A and B are shown apart, each in its own frame.
Chain A
C-alpha cells in the first residue's frame, strides 16, 4: 500500500514527460479553448444580453468556457487510455507488481493537473478580451481549485470509457456524443430561460450548470443565466456541484479500478 501513491505519481510523471516529448499536444489542447473564448466573445457576445447594466457577456461567458473545457478533460483521458490499451502498454502495466489503482489514479491525476496549464492560458486570454473577476484573489483561486477538482472527477468517467471501448477513435466519438450536449444543455453560454420547459429543468440539474453557476458566484457574479424554477441546484450551486463531484467519484472510481483489473479477462 505504501507504494500505491508513488506508483501513481510515476504514471502521472509519464504523462508530463509525454507532453515534453510531444509539446504539440499541449499547444493544441490550449489553442482550442482559447479559440472558443474568442469565438463566443466576439461572435455571440454582441447579441446576447446579460440583462444587467455594466456586466458584459464575457463575464458570464468565461466561467462557462472554463467548465466546458475541464469537462472535456475526460476526452483526453479516454483517448489516451484507449491508445495505451491498443498498444499493449496497459498489459505491460498489469504484469508489473504495482497496486491495482495506481495506473488509473495516476492517469486521472495527470489529466487533472494538465488543466492547470490550460486554465492559466485561458484565464490570460479571457483577461485580454475583458474578463475581470472582482471577487478578490482568494475567491478567484478557490474557483480555479473547484474547476481542477471537477476536471479530476470527470477524468474518472474518461477512464471507464477508455478501458471499455475498442479503439481510440471510438473513445473520441463516444466522449463527444456524451459531453457536447451536456455542455450546451446548460447555462454555460446562454440563459436557460429560452429553452423549452423540460430542457430548462434538465439544464438546471445538469452538473455543468451547477458548476458554471458556482464559478460565477466565486468570481463575483450573480448567476442570472440559469434560474428558472428556483430549484435547489440553481439556488445552491456550490453545494450541488460538490455533491455531483463526490457522486461521480463514488461511482466511477471503483468501476474504473474494477475495469482495469479485469480489462482483458473477458
Chain B
C-alpha cells in the first residue's frame, strides 16, 4: 500500500526559466520512511510543498493516503502533519500557547487540546519550557516543538522538511532520537535532508534529487554500494608512492587511483577498518611511514559526483532565516 505517490511533477518559475521540479516521481510505502536527499535548490522543499497542498504543480499528479492533493487539498490536510523550514510556529507565543492554538485549529475541544499539549510536551521533554516564549528556546527545542505541533492529531503521514538543518550536533542527535521513536511507532514519514548520514540513520528508502528530478533510488546500502562505499586513502612521500600503490592494489583489488600532486593513493574498499589495519601493517613491515592514512566515508558530494558527474551545487551557504531563503527562492 502506497501512502504517498508523486508522478511526473513539474513546477516552473519565471515563465519556465527555472524548473524547480522537472518530472519528479516518487512514492512512500505505508509505515516506512522515505528520505529525499539533495543539495539546496534541488527541489526537495518544492516537492514537500506540493504534497502538503501548499503549492499547485504545473503538471503531474500526486496522492497522499489515496487522496488527490490537487483535487481535494482540504481532505489531504486532515491526514498530514508538516514541520520544517517553511512551516513554523509563533515565536512570540509560548510552547504551550502554540500547541493549544494548533490543537484548537485541528478542532480539538479546549479540554482535549490541553490534554494533548501536555502529552506532547512530556513526550518531547519540553514540559519545563512550556510557559516560555519560543524565541527563548534553543534550536533543538524549537524544532522539537515544531515537530510536536505537527503531531497533534496523529497524522497518517508526516512530512519533515530538513528537520535538522541549522542545528548543532547535539541538537541533531536529539532530533534523530525523537524521529526514530516516532518511526518505531509506525509513522509513515517523508523527510528531506542534505545529509547522507541523516538519510542513512532515519530512512528505509532514499531518493536522491537533483535539479528537480529523482536521479537515484534505493536503500542506503544500495546507494553506498553504487557510490563505491568507503575509500582507503594514503598520503605518502613521493619516493614511497609506488610501493604504497602496490600495497593498496593488493588490498583493494583493482581501481586504485594515484594523485601525484597530492601524493595520495586511494581505492574503494569493502572491508572497512580491516583494510585500513592491513594497509598499516604492510606499510610498517616495509618501513614506510605515511603522512596520512585513513578511511573516507562517501559524502553527499561523492554521491553526487558518482551519480551526476558534477559536484552538488550549493547555491549559497545555508541561511538560518526563512525570510532570506524565501526571498531567494522567489527571485530565481
Residues of A within 8 A of B (CB): 3, 6-7, 10, 13-14, 17-18, 21-22, 85-89, 91-98, 102, 166-167, 264-266
Contact = CB atoms under 8 A, between A and B. Distances in A.
Contact of A14 (B90, B327, B330): B90
A87 B324 CA distance: 10
Given A22-B92, A86-B326, A167-B323, A95 B106 contact: no
Contacts of B104: 6, 10
B88 A89 contact: yes
9 nearest CB pairs, A to B = A88-B88, A86-B323, A97-B77, A92-B87, A88-B86, A97-B78, A95-B82, A10-B104, A91-B86
Contact of B56 (A6, A89, A102, A265): A265
B54 A264 contact: yes
8 contacts: A17-B93, A21-B93, A21-B94, A21-B97, A85-B326, A86-B321, A87-B91, A93-B105
Interface in B174-191: none
Nearest to B78: A97
A17 B91 contact: no
Which of A7, A14, A22, A102: most chain B CB closer than 10 A? Answer: A14
B71 interface: no
Given A7-B105, A166-B327, A265-B56, A96 B77 contact: yes
Contacts of B277: none
Contacts of B133: 21
B78 A18 contact: no
B101 A94 contact: no
Which of B86, B133, B327: most chain A CB closer than 10 A? Answer: B86
Contacts of B323: 86-87, 167
A14 B101 contact: yes
B83 to A, nearest CB: 8
B54 A3 contact: no
B53 interface: yes
A265 B93 contact: no
B263 interface: no
B116 to A, nearest CB: 15
A266 B326 CA distance: 13
Given A17-B97, A92-B102, A167-B327, 12 more contacts: A6-B107, A10-B101, A14-B93, A18-B90, A21-B93, A88-B322, A89-B90, A95-B52, A95-B54, A98-B105, A264-B49, A265-B54
A180 B90 CA distance: 30
Nearest to A22: B92
B89 interface: yes
A87 B87 CA distance: 8
B219 interface: no
A18 B93 contact: yes
A33 to B, nearest CB: 23
A256 B78 CA distance: 24
Contact of A96 (B56, B86, B106, B322): B106
Interface string B63-86: 000000000001001101010011
Nearest to B11: A265
B192 to A, nearest CB: 15
Contacts of A22: 92
A97 B92 contact: no
A95 B80 CA distance: 8
A237 to B, nearest CB: 39
Interface string B312-330: 0000000001110011001
B127 to A, nearest CB: 19
Nearest to B49: A264
